[in-house]
Structure 1
Amino acid sequence: MTSPSLTCLGIVVTDRGSRYAVSGAPVRSRAEIDMALAALKTDRSYAKATHNTWAALLPTGALKADDGESGAGMVILRMLERAGLDDHLIVVTRWYGGKNLGGDRFRRVQDAVRAYLDTTGLAAD
């Protein structure tokens, strides 16, 4: 099985010292999700990030992980559902900047996912 082709946009949002990057790849199974995450983390910066939250809508159902950023996986999942984007993984990476963002952290996750959907042309019309 070959690794999914990962698109990394790099840092797309900053807020009070925290930096957010977004990445994604077409996937069809949990194994492909795991391969894409492993490929992302071969970059030392992403491997050392505070959080790599992700979600994907697969034929077998929805999958998500918060990676310590409680609720962020659900934010990504809901955006994938609204966009009608099946068989695709989106990962939002956060490097914590030292200040709690409260509810704004969800807006930054949304901003990152929107940037990915718009940049890749995958946004629902």
Structure 2
Amino acid sequence: MTSSSANDGWPYPVYASSRVTEHKSAFLAHATTLKDTSELETLLEHLRALPRMKKTTHCMLAYRISGPSDGPVNTGQDDGGEGGAGDRLARLLELSGRENVVVVVWRWYGGVKLGSDRWKRISDVAKEALAQGDFVKPSISSQPPPRNKKKR
């Protein structure tokens, strides 16, 4: 779903995941179009100004922006205090096959360490926001896997 307040003042639709809570920590993601890295700080300021975002403790993100026709894709990420989160989000965007997109995941730390469960929550909300914005190509894996022939 697009977040109407998140869209005010930003030139592209902003898609929000649902807010997921686990052991007093909450996670939420936003996905939107990003055509140039110079727009990133404006987007983050815009999202941070939303009333519900004011008390977040972590802001993780990754982006992929198409380069010149013969150049590489411009990628970037930020862990936002969750070591390795930016790399995971960047990999998720790479697998999506889309460009000119940014995904931002917010966490409200609830005082309980989640261990490896936090990676699932971060990925889940990021995937949901990307799917809401149709930033994910149809999965090739939806086809049945080839059967392995046993050697005799």
Q: CA deviation at 1:3?
A: 4.0
Equivalent residue letter for 1:43:
L
Q: Quick one: distance in 2 between partners of 1:112 and 1:118?
A: 10
Correspondence for 2:42: 35
Larger Rg computed on CA atoms: 2
Structure number with higher strand proportion: 1
Q: CA deviation at 1:10?
A: 5.4
Q: Which runs of 4+ in 1 moved over 4 A?
A: none
Correspondence for 1:114: 127
Which of 15, 35, 60 is the equivalent residue of 2:22? Answer: 15
Residue ranges of structure 1 left out of the alignment (5+ in a row): none
Asked whether the 8 Å contact 2:60–2:106 carries over to 1, the reply is yes
Which of 50, 72, 79 is the equivalent residue of 1:66? Answer: 79
Identity of aligned residues (%): 28
SS of 2:136's partner is coil
Q: Quick one: distance in 2 between partners of 1:95 and 1:6?
A: 24
Asked whether the 8 Å contact 2:31–2:133 carries over to 1, the reply is no
> So what's the TM-score if we normalise by structure 1?
0.89
SS of 2:19's partner is strand
What is the number of residues matched between the two proteins? 124
Q: Quick one: distance in 1 between partners of 2:29 and 2:64?
A: 17
> So what's the TM-score if we normalise by structure 2?
0.74
Q: Give CA deviations for 1:8-62 in whole Å, capped at 9, x if unaligned.
A: 4254321111111111221111111111111001114323201111110123521
